[in-house]
Amino acid sequence: MAARVTNPTQLADLAGRGLVTRAGSATAAQARTLPLLPVFAPLVPQCAVQRGSVVGCVGAAAVTLALAVAAGPSQQGAWVAVAGMPSLGLAAAAEAGVVLERLVAVTEPVDADGAVQPFDDEVWGDLLAACIDGFDVVLLGPGTQQVRPATARRLVARLQARGAMAVTVGAPVFGADLRFECAAATWVGLGDGHGVAQARRAQLALTGRRVPQERRLDCWLPAVDGQLRACEPTVDGMVTPLRRTG
Amino acid sequence: MPRLGVLWCPHWPVVVADAAADEPVAVVHANRVVAHSLAAVADGVALGQRRRDAQSRCPHVRIEPHDPARDARAFEQVVRAVGAIVPRVEVTEPGTLTFVARGPARYFGGEASMAAKVTATAAEAMGRSLAAVGSLGMGVADGRFAAGIAARRAAAAGAPAVVSAGGAATAEFLRGLPVSLLTEVAGVPADFVHLLHRLGLHQLGALAALPAADVTARFGPLGAFAHRIAAGGDDRLPGTHDPPSGLHAQRVFEPPVQHTDALVFVARQLAEELVGALAADGRVCTRLQVVAETEHGERTERHWHRSSGLSVAAMVERVRWQLDAWVQLDDLTAGVALLRLDPVEVRGDDGVQLGLWGGRTQADDWAVRAVARLVALAGEQQVLVPAVHGGRQPHDSHRWVAAATADLVDPAERLADRGTPWPGSLPAPSPAVVHAPARAIEVLDAAGAAVAVSGRGTVSAAPVTVQMGGSAEAVQSWAGPWPVDERWWDPARARRTARFQLLTRSGRLLLVGVERGRWWLTAEYR
C-alpha cells in the first residue's frame, strides 16, 4: 500500500517525477468528456458533457434538441444508437448534424395490423446494455420508458462505468444529470395561408445536478440558413413571411 | 515452389442455383451481376452489369440473389468427392479448390491423367447444372497464380491444362497474358492494374521485364508482389513460413454443443484469440485449418486459404460455411465436443494501418460488434441503419434498412446522395418526427366542416381547428396546399395528395396531407 501523502510539497515532488498526473490536465479532461456543438457553448462550460451523464431533453423542441446534443460527439467519430424512437426523422437528424454513417436504431416489432408490440423490461434491459457497451451515445426515446426504475438505475450505472452518454426524450425514468428544457419555441416564416416554416427560435434553460443556477439561452433551432446558433441580442422579426403574389 | 493443382468452376453460384443447360440465369449482388450462365451471355448479360440492364437485354433471365454461405455449403459436395482421391484439399473460395499435385500425380500416373481423373470426379459431384456454365477447369502449374490461370484457360478450352515445371516455363506461359489476371486470380486491387495499363504495361511479360528494384521503389510491397508473380516467381509473400508450433486456438465443450450458432459464437472468440496472438508478433494467418469433432468421433477438417490474410470476420465466415455443410451432409449423432482453429501458414503482416483520419477507428469496430449482438438479441428486422432513398415526402427521402444486411464499415453506397432533385419536396428544416404510417386526423374550417382541396389546388376555407385522436387544437397559422401527384403512371402506387403546414396555438407545427378527402398527419416538427 502506498504511503499516505500528508505534505503538499511531497505531492508536488511525486508529480514532478511523473508518478501523479494532475487531474485537471487538458488531455485527461478531454478523455473524460464528449464535445457538444458550439451552439451550447454559452450554456455548458467547456462545451462538453462528462462521459457517463444522462442528458434529458424536454419541451417543445425536445427531439431536435436531443439530435443537436448527439450531433457533437457524432461529428467527432462517435456512433449513435437510437432506441425506442421509431418515428425519428432522418432528414432532420442529418440537418441537426448527426452523421448518418454512424447511426443505428433499435425498434420494437410491428405486427401485421401495424400495432407495435413493445419490448418488456427484460428485453429492453439487455438491448440497452448492449447499446451502452457498443456505442458512445445512446438516444433513448419514449419506447424505453417501459423499463422499470431498478433496471434504469442498473443501466445508468453501466453507462457511468463504460463512459458513454445517454440522451433521453420522453423517458424520465432514467433521470437526468443535465436537463435541457425548451420552454417556448416560435416558428418564423409561416403566415396565414402563405409562407413556409423556415426557422425556429427556442428559449432553452439548463438545469442539473452540477449546475448551481439555471442558465438560459435564446437560440435558433435551426436558423433560416439551417445553422444551429445563439440568437443575436437584438432580434426583431428577422424573417418576413412570403407574400402570395399570384 | 510447390507444384499445385487448381480446380476452378466458372460461375459457381449459377451451378448452385440449379440452372438448366439452356436457361439464362444471373446471380446478382448489390444490383450488379456477379455470375451468369452461358445462355445469359448469349443474350448480352455480362459481369458487373446492373440488374436492370441485364433484365432489359434478356427479359426472361432468372435473377438469383448472391449468397456466399449457400455457395460454400453446396461446394462441400465437390470438396468431399475430390478429397476422397486427393489428400489435403484446400478451399480457396466457393468454386475454387487447390491441392498439392506431386503425390496424386505419381499415384495416377502423371499430371495429365491425374487432372482428367479429378475433373471427372468433380464434374460428377456437380451434376447436371454444370452444363449451364460450360465446363470445369483444372490446371496444374508451379504456384497458385500460374495454376489458377491454367485452370481458367482449361475451362475455356474444355480440357485440363498442365504447365511444365520450372521458373522459366512458368514465365514463358505467363508472358503474353493480360495484366488484368492479377486482379482476377491473385486479388491485386483493380486500380493498380488500371495504373499499369495507363503506363503501357498491358501484358504480364512487360511487367516482369522491368527491374524488380525499380518496381518496388515505385509501387512498394504490392508492386513487388505483382512483379514477382508475373515473372513466374513464388506467390507466397516473403516471410511466409510455418507458424510457431503449439499456436492454435481450441475449445473443448463439456457438455457438447448442439447448435451451430453457439459454435460460431465460440469460433469468433477463438478467431479473436488467434488473430490477436499472431498480430502481437506482427503476423497474419493466410491458411487456416478448421477442425470440429463430435462426441462420437465424427470429424470435419478443412483447409481455408486467403492470400490477403484471414481476418476475424473471414475466419468466422469460413467456420460457419464448414459447419453448415457438415451438419447438412452428415447425420450427426451427437453434439460437437471440440472446435479447433489451426494456423497452417502465416506471414509477416505488411501492415494495413488503421486510418488516422476518416479510416476505421476502434469505435467503428465496437459498433460493428454491438450491432451483431443487438441483431442476435432482437432479431434482424429490429436493428436498422439509415439509407438514402429519395422522394418528396419525409418518409420517402430516407429509409431505415436492416443493419444485418447493410455494409456498416463502408456505407457510401446506401448513403450516397443521388444528386437527383425532387421538385415539390419541402425545404429544410425537416420534421424531426415522421409518422409512418400516417395518422388519421380531421381538419375543420370555422363552420366546423371538413376543409377540402379541389382538383385544381384551391382550398375550400381556411383551416381553423385540427382534431387529433380526440383532442382538438386551434390553428394559429398555416400554409399550403402544396399538391404532389406521384407515380401517376402506375395505378397501384399512384398518390395524389396536397400538403399543408399547420401551426397550432399551443406551438406545435404539423405537416399534414389530404388524400381523397381524408386528412393525415404525416410528420411533426418537434
User: pLDDT tens, B256-278?
Assistant: 888 888 888 888 889 988 888 88
pLDDT (0 to 100) of residue B207: 92
Q: Does A79 touch chain B (CB under 8 A)?
A: yes
Task: Please state the φ and ψ torsions of residue B288, each to the nearest 5 degrees.
Answer: -125, 135
Among B32-46, B128-142, B200-214, B338-352, the minimum mean pLDDT is found in B338-352
- At residue B244, the pLDDT reads 65
Q: How far is B190 from chain A (nearest CA, A)?
A: 26
Residue at A111: amino acid letter: D
Cβ-defined contact of A186 to B507 (cutoff 8 Å):
yes
Residue B394 grid cell:
419525409
Is residue A101 exposed (0-12), middle (13-18) or buried (19+ Cβ within 10 Å)? middle
Alpha-carbon distance of B469 to B439, in angstroms, equals: 9
Measured between CA atoms, the residue of chain A closest to residue B505 is A186
Nearest-CA neighbor of B311 among B254, B257, B268, B354?
B268
The grid coordinates listed for B101 are 499435385
Main-chain dihedrals φ then ψ at residue B294, nearest 5 degrees: -90, 175
pLDDT at B245: 63
Q: What is the C-alpha to C-alpha distance for residues B265 and B263, in angstroms, rounded to an integer?
A: 5
With a cut of 70, say whether residue B157 has pLDDT above it.
yes
Residue A241 has pLDDT above 70, yes or no: no
Q: Does A176 touch chain B (CB under 8 A)?
A: no
Residue in chain A nearest B523 by alpha carbon: A89
pLDDT beyond 90 at A88: yes
pLDDT tens per residue across span A189-210:
998 888 999 999 999 999 998 8
Q: Does A151 touch chain B (CB under 8 A)?
A: no
Chain B residues whose beta carbon lies within 8 Å of the beta carbon of residue A184 = 507
pLDDT band for position B354 (50/70/90)? very low
- Flag whether pLDDT at B467 surpasses 90: yes
Q: Is B462 in Cβ contact with A62 (below 8 Å)?
A: no
Interface probe for A, chosen from B422, B477, B502, B524 (most Cβ of A below 10 Å), is B477
User: Do residue A226 and residue B429 have CB atoms under 8 angstroms apart?
Assistant: yes
Contact B525, B507 (CB under 8 A): no
B15 closest CA partner among B75, B100, B76, B56:
B75
Contact at CB, B478 and A190, closer than 8 angstroms:
yes
Cα–Cα distances (Å) from B228 to B179, B236, B467, in that order, read 13, 10, 76
* A 83-112: CB under 8 A from B: 87-96, 100-109
Give bridge partners of residue A205 from the DSSP assignment: A181, A216
The Cβ of residue B418 has, within 10 Å, a number of other Cβ atoms equal to 9
Q: Inter-chain contact A105–B383, Cβ cutoff 8 Å?
A: yes
What pLDDT, on the 0 to 100 scale, is given for residue B361?
61
Residue of A67, A91, A108 with shortest CB distance to B394: A91
Choose between A242 and B332: higher pLDDT: B332
Q: Could you tell me how many CB contacts below 8 A there are between chain A and chain B?
A: 166
Reported as a single tens digit per residue, the pLDDT across A136-151 is: 999 999 999 989 999 9
Contact residues on chain B for A202, CB-CB shorter than 8 A: none
Distance between CA atoms of residues B221 and B431, nearest Å: 51
Domains defined for chain B, CATH in brackets: 3-165 (3.40.1170.60), 249-348 (3.30.1490.100), 362-415 (no CATH), 433-525 (no CATH)
Report the distance separating Cα A191 and Cα A177, nearest Å.
Answer: 39
Tell if the CB–CB gap between A200 and B377 is shorter than 8 Å.
no
Whether residue B374 and residue A104 make contact (CB cut-off 8 A), yes or no, is: yes
Q: Do A90 and B367 touch (CB under 8 A)?
A: no
Edge-to-edge strand list for the sheet holding B3-8: B161-162, B137-142, B3-8, B96-100, B90-93, B299-305, B283-294, B336-348, B249-257
Give the confidence band of A5 by pLDDT, cuts at 50, 70, 90.
Answer: very low
pLDDT in tens, B2-58: 889 999 998 899 888 888 888 899 988 767 788 898 888 888 888 888 888 888 998
Domains and their CATH numbers in chain A: 43-185 (3.40.50.300)
Q: Is A114 within 8 Å of chain B by CB?
A: yes
Q: Nearest C-alpha of chain A: how many angstroms from B375?
A: 9
Q: What is the distance in angstroms between the Cα of A89 and the nearest Cα belonging to chain B?
A: 5
Residue A53 pLDDT > 60: yes
More confident residue, B279 or A133: A133
* CB spacing of B478 vs A135 below 8 angstroms: no
**Sequence-ordered list of residues with C-beta below 8 angstroms from that of B154, at least 6 positions apart, any chain:** B8, B115, B136, B137, B138, B139, B160, B161
Amino acid at site A244: R
One-letter amino acid of A184? A
Q: What is the pLDDT of residue B238?
A: 57
- Antiparallel, parallel or unpaired: β B398-402 and B383-388: antiparallel
Whole-number pLDDT of residue B360:
54
- Given a contact cutoff of 8 angstroms between Cβ atoms, the answer to whether B429 and B461 are in contact is no
| Inter-chain touch A107–B370, beta carbons under 8 Å | no
Closest approach of chain B CAs to the CA of A41, in angstroms?
Answer: 22
Residue B359, pLDDT above cutoff 70: no
Q: Which residue has the higher pLDDT, B503 or A16?
A: B503
Count CB-CB contacts under 10 A for residue B102. Answer: 15
Q: Which residue has the higher pLDDT, A46 or B351?
A: A46
* Chain A residue with Cα closest to B477: A192
Question: The complex's ipTM?
Answer: 0.83
pTM: 0.58
Burial class of residue B272 (count of CB atoms within 10 Å of its CB; 0-12, 13-18, 19+): middle
Question: pLDDT class for B135, splitting at 50, 70, 90?
Answer: confident
Partner B contacted by A132 (CB < 8 A): no
- Minimal Cβ distance to B433: which of A63, A102, A133: A63
Strands (E), A170-210: 178-190, 195-208
Provide the pLDDT for residue B353.
41
B412 pLDDT exceeds 80? no
- pLDDT at residue A115 tops 90: no
Comparing alpha-carbon positions, the chain A residue that sits nearest to B511 is A197
Helix, coil or strand: residue A15? helix
Is B386 close to A63, i.e. CB distance below 8 A? no
- By three-state DSSP, how is residue B98 classified? strand
Tell me the average pLDDT of chain B: 86
User: Which residues of chain A have a CB within 8 Å of the CB of B370?
Assistant: 79, 81, 104, 130-131, 133-135
Look up residue B457 and give its three cell numbers.
389546388
Residues of A in contact with B429 (CB under 8 A): 92, 95, 197-200, 222, 226
Per the model's pLDDT, the better-predicted residue between B501 and B425 turns out to be: B501
First to last CA, chain B: 68
Task: Please name the residue that has the C-alpha cell 502506498.
Answer: A2
pLDDT value for B284: 84
Chain B contact present for A184, CB below 8 A: yes
Question: Considering CB atoms only, which of B384, B398, B427 is closest to A107?
Answer: B384
pLDDT surpasses 90 at A168:
yes
pLDDT in tens, A29-43: 567 899 999 999 989
> How many Cβ atoms are within 10 Å of B202's Cβ, its own excluded?
13
Bridge partners of B135, per DSSP, are none
In b/e form, how buried is each residue of A133-162, taking b as 16+ CB within 10 angstroms? Answer: bbbbbbbbbebbbbbeeebbeebbebbbee
Contact across the interface for B431 and A92, Cβ inside 8 Å: yes
